[in-house]
Structures are given as structure tokens and as C-alpha cells.
């Protein structure tokens, strides 16, 4: 029986792949069904969030792999360069390359045909795969990329699966419907913010001990370092919008408590991650969404939470039921001490303003290695 999908999955298992994530592509639908039943697997809302989630999985010691189509690479490039490559984290990308073989959708041609040049320009090595006979290259490159903490893309031509006798799930069996009740949005009177972001970080700092903490990039990370540095803090130095995805990836791959310190501008950049969190429901994840209605690190330009979006209602609308809105240090401490299991979303209202906290005196690789030692128990 000719089954290239099963052959590839066997190679992934031999290479020690321990975490997978994907967005669908019709050309690899059978492969994705088999991946979902063979590995710890997470369906994504957007490719970029998958980069962050897989980075979190790598920090927790897993070997991650992502499955996307060629158009999705355009949604991932900044995160791949400023997060995965920058922190030297491993990631295997399996890309269903559209627009090169018997393509019937004209809109797939531009990205699919230019993909090798785009990857080359981004400094991301890749291996074309046009049949199962190329799987030997996949086997070798997988071992190398995990050993060397590199990103590598495998460009899967649709011709790879031609003639496969692998079966597909029936349409009825493949469709899973969500029957749980969606939390109702809350209607609340306007709460006036009183604290700065630094005040909030200082208030929650005592409750971060022995927890893995992922902090938003720029000034928030500097403020966390000044308020409570610990080896378990992952300070973001780039890749805005990736903080909550990284925290999610860590929480799904470790039993340790994980706290994400995110911001309104960053959350709005990848709001679909809240849906992914609600679906995967990690009980060890708390998100502190500090909302000062401003892009604080770039000059306090207003965000859409300035009279338009309520982040707590956004989280509840995406299915996170354990939420609270706070504006005082007392309420913050109570929320952090709450014994409820996650995922939790703490909507912390703040006034705009930055402290004059100094730069973090740690290099990015040192930050990564400290966190990985903590998560591994070393």
C-alpha cells in the first residue's frame, strides 16, 4: 500500500517531534488528519501565532513542527526572523507549496512561485520535496535542525501525495461541533484606571515567584526586570503580538504555572490566540492584559481600546470564561491570588506612561537559556 503520509509521520516520530500545529490546506488534508491523531497537535487561527506557540513549546524542551500552505509564510516572516531565529529556537516548517503543480487557483501562483526566493532572501534554508523519494532529505535535515536550533522549511509539492492510498476521514467524522456554552459578555460600568503599567507590574511581582513569566517587548520587559528579575522570566525583545502565543506554547508543554504579561496593542495584533487558548484550555495559564489604551513603547499613540474595544469582553467572546477586570493594586493582588484554574484573563486597566527603567543587561540567548533551565527543572 502506497502511503507517503504514513512514511513522513514515521520520520517525524523518529526525529523526536513532540508538538505540532497547523492551518489547513486541501493538498495535505489527509496528512493533517493523520498528524492530528499522531502527535500533540494544536489547530491555529493564524500562522503567525503558531510561530509563537511553537517557540514556547521549544522553550519547554519539545521539538515543534508546523504545517501550513505557502501563502501562510507571508504571515509568519517577521516572527520567524525576530523570534525563532533570533532566540535560536528550532522549528520544522512543512509547507504545502501551491502554485507550482497542477494549480487551479490563480491567486496561489504569486506566493507559491516566489516562495523559494522569499525564503532565500529571509535566510531561511529550505528543501524541496516533490515525491516520497525525497523523504531521505527530510530525515537528515530534521536531525540537523533540532541539533543546531535552526529553522528549516520543507516545501511539499502536491505531486508528493499523488497516488497515495491513505484513507480520509468521512466528512461526518471529520466535523466536530462545539457544544459548550459560550460565556456571555459582561456589561459593566466604566472603571477609571489609576495605576501605571509599572505600578501594575510591581503589584503582581510577589505573585510571580516560581512561575514561568513571558513579558511583552520593549519597556514592559524593562519594567519587569527592574521590579522582579528571576531566571524564569522570558523577556521579549522583538516580535510584537507573540507574547501570549509563547505563553500558550509553554503552558501546553509543561506543568509549571505560566503568567503572560501582555498589552492591549499586542493582544489586538493577534486576538485569535484567545480563541486558541479557549479551545486548548490550559489550566496553568494566566494572562495579565495591561490596558493603557496606548502603544507605550512607541510614543503613547492610542490603541483601539480607547473607547472602542473592551479586552475582557473580547476574551469572553472568544470563549475564556474565567475573566476579571481590575484597576487597583488590591484587586490585582486578589486576582493573582485567586485559586481558580486557568486559563485566566486579568484585564488590568492602566493610565498611559512609561517608567525610566534601564535596559536589561542580558543578551537574548542568555535569557532563553535561563528560562529553558527553569522549565527543565535544572
Say whether pLDDT at 378 is over 90. no
* Percent residues over pLDDT 70 in the chain: 94
Give how far Cα 97 sits from Cα of 103, 151, 162, Å. Answer: 10, 17, 14
Helices assigned H by DSSP within 206-328: 219-228, 243-252, 264-269, 272-280, 311-317
The tally of CA atoms less than 13 A away on the side-chain side of residue 72 is 24
Q: How many CB atoms lie within 10 A of CB 114?
A: 15
Phi then psi for residue 349, to 5 deg, are -75, 140
Question: What pLDDT is stored for residue 308 in this prediction?
Answer: 84
Question: What pLDDT is stored for residue 184 in this prediction?
Answer: 59
Least reliable range by pLDDT among 159-173, 274-288, 289-303: 159-173
Give how far Cα 297 sits from Cα of 89, 265, 306, Å. Answer: 26, 10, 17
Instruction: Determine the Cα–Cα distance for residues 281 and 293; give it in Å rounded to an integer.
Output: 27
Instruction: Determine the Cα–Cα distance for residues 106 and 196; give it in Å rounded to an integer.
Output: 50
pLDDT tens-place string over residues 110-124: 999 999 999 999 999
* Averaged confidence pLDDT in the chain: 92
* Percent residues over pLDDT 90 in the chain: 85
pLDDT greater at residue 339 or residue 209: 209
Domains plus CATH for the chain? 4-174 (3.40.50.970), 197-376 (3.40.50.970)
The pLDDT confidence band at residue 338, using thresholds 50, 70 and 90, is confident
pLDDT tens-place string over residues 168-227: 654 434 444 444 455 555 555 568 899 999 999 999 999 999 999 999 999 999 999 999
Question: What pLDDT is stored for residue 301 in this prediction?
Answer: 84
Give how far Cα 310 sits from Cα of 45, 188, 259, 306, 357, Å. Answer: 21, 10, 21, 9, 29
Cα 85–213–321 angle (5° rounding)? Answer: 110
The model's pTM is 0.93
The radius of gyration computed from the CA coordinates of the chain, to the nearest angstrom, equals 21
Least reliable range by pLDDT among 39-43, 69-73, 203-207, 296-300: 296-300
User: Do the beta carbons of residue 197 and residue 290 sit within 8 Å?
Assistant: yes
Amino acid at each position: 500500500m502506497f502511503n507517503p503520509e504514513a512514511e513522513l509521520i514515521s520520520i517525524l516520530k523518529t526525529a523526536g517531534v513532540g508538538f505540532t500545529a497547523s492551518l489547513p490546506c486541501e493538498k495535505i488534508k489527509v496528512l493533517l488528519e493523520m498528524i492530528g491523531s499522531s502527535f500533540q497537535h494544536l489547530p491555529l487561527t493564524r500562522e503567525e501565532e503558531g510561530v509563537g506557540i511553537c517557540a514556547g513549546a521549544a522553550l519547554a524542551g519539545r521539538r515543534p513542527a508546523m504545517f501550513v500552505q505557502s501563502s501562510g509564510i507571508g504571515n509568519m516572516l517577521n516572527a520567524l526572523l525576530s523570534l525563532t531565529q533570533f532566540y535560536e529556537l528550532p522549528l520544522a516548517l512543512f509547507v504545502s507549496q501551491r502554485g507550482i503543480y497542477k494549480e487551479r487557483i490563480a491567486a496561489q501562483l504569486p506566493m507559491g512561485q516566489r516562495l523559494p526566493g522569499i525564503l532565500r532572501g529571509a535566510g531561511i534554508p529550505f528543501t524541496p520535496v516533490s515525491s516520497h523519494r525525497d523523504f531521505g532529505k527530510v530525515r537528515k535535515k530534521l536531525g540537523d535542525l533540532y541539533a543546531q536550533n535552526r529553522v528549516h522549511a520543507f516545501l511539499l509539492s502536491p505531486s508528493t501525495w499523488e497516488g497515495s492510498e491513505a484513507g480520509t476521514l468521512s466528512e461526518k467524522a471529520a466535523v466536530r461541533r462545539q457544544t459548550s456554552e459560550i460565556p456571555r459578555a459582561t456589561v459593566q460600568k466604566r472603571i477609571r484606571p489609576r495605576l501605571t503599567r509599572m505600578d501594575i507590574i510591581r503589584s503582581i511581582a510577589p505573585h510571580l515567584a516560581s512561575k514561568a513569566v513571558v513579558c511583552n517587548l520593549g519597556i514592559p520587559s524593562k519594567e519587569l526586570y527592574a521590579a522582579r528579575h528571576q531566571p524564569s522570566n522570558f523577556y521579549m525583545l522583538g516580535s510584537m503580538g507573540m507574547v501570549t502565543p509563547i505563553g500558550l506554547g509553554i503552558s501546553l508543554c509543561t506543568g509549571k504555572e505560566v503568567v503572560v504579561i501582555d498589552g492591549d496593542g499586542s493582544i489586538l495584533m493577534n486576538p485569535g490566540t484567545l480563541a486558541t487558548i479557549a479551545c486548548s484550555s490550559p489550566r496553568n495559564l494566566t494572562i495579565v492584559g495591561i490596558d493603557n489604551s496606548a502603544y507605550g513603547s512607541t510614543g503613547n499613540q492610542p490603541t483601539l481600546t480607547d473607547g472602542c474595544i473592551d479586552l475582557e469582553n473580547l476574551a469572553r467572546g472568544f470563549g475564556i470564561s474565567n475573566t476579571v477586570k481590575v484597576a487597583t493594586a488590591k484587586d490585582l493582588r486578589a486576582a493573582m491570588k485567586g485559586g481558580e484554574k486557568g486559563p485566566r484573563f486579568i484585564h488590568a486597566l492602566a493610565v498611559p506612561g512609561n517608567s525610566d527603567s534601564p535596559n536589561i543587561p542580558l543578551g537574548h540567548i542568555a535569557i532563553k537559556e535561563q528560562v529553558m533551565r527553569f522549565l527543565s527543572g535544572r
